[in-house]
């Protein structure tokens, strides 16, 4: 069984997620295991559930994002794996969270979306990127997007793990 415990670096220009800002995808980052102390609650780990590597997709945005400016705006990412995750253990939709720097005076923002489960058998990862701009900001406690959530597709990143190639397909 091959573990994905490596970082896979790339530099893919994905255009402008918001007017005047550029999104560059910078790689896949190893992010632990689905049963470790950090991820077990997030993945719903239980006795007998398979243990898989976790990975996140990393990015940078220029110029730097200022959190107060982007309340109600976000970059969404969804993942599809080939072969697909076992539906007996994993939900069909891969949930991701965001981790993003907020450094006053920075010229760019570095961040990551994930983590998501990547079984050893995974040959291909397709990540669909989109943005949304809400006309009103939802309650931060509410995990659902605001009711006026307006999605805008950016494109799809296709990662072939067996060949270690990456391709960006703009929307």
> In total, how many domains does the chain have?
1
Q: Do the domain assignments include residue 97? A: yes
User: Which among 77, 58, 67, 69 is positioned nearest to 153, based on CA atoms?
Assistant: 77
Q: Whole-prediction pTM value?
A: 0.82
Q: Provide the 8-state DSSP code for 90.
A: S
- Between the two ends of the chain, the Cα-to-Cα distance in Å is 35
Residue-number span of the structural domain to which 142 is assigned:
8-170
Q: Do the domain assignments include residue 2? A: no
Q: Do the domain assignments include residue 134? A: yes
Digitized pLDDT (tens) for each residue of the chain, 171 residues in all: 356 667 889 999 999 988 888 999 999 999 889 999 888 887 888 899 999 999 999 999 999 887 655 555 678 898 999 999 999 988 877 778 888 888 888 999 899 999 999 999 999 999 999 887 654 444 444 445 544 555 689 999 999 998 889 999 999
CATH of the domain at 49: 2.60.40
Q: Do the domain assignments include residue 1? A: no
């Amino acid at each position: 069984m091959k573990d994905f415990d490596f970082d896979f670096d790339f530099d893919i220009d994905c255009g402008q997620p918001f007017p005047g800002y550029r999104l560059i995808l910078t790689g896949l980052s190893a992010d632990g295991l689905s049963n470790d102390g950090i991820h077990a609650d997030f993945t719903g780990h239980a006795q007998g559930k398979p243990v898989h590597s976790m990975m996140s997709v990393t990015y940078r945005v220029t110029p730097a994002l200022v959190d107060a400016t982007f309340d109600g705006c976000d970059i969404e990412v969804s993942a599809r794996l080939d072969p697909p995750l076992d539906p007996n253990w994993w939900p069909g939709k891969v949930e991701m969270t965001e981790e993003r720097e907020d450094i006053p005076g920075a010229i760019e923002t570095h961040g990551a979306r994930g983590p998501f489960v990547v079984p050893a058998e995974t040959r291909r990862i397709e990540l669909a990127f989109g943005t949304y701009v809400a006309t009103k900001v939802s309650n931060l406690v509410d995990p659902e997007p605001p009711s006026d959530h307006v999605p805008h597709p950016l494109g799809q990143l296709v990662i072939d793990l067996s060949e270690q190639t990456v391709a960006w397909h703009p929307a």
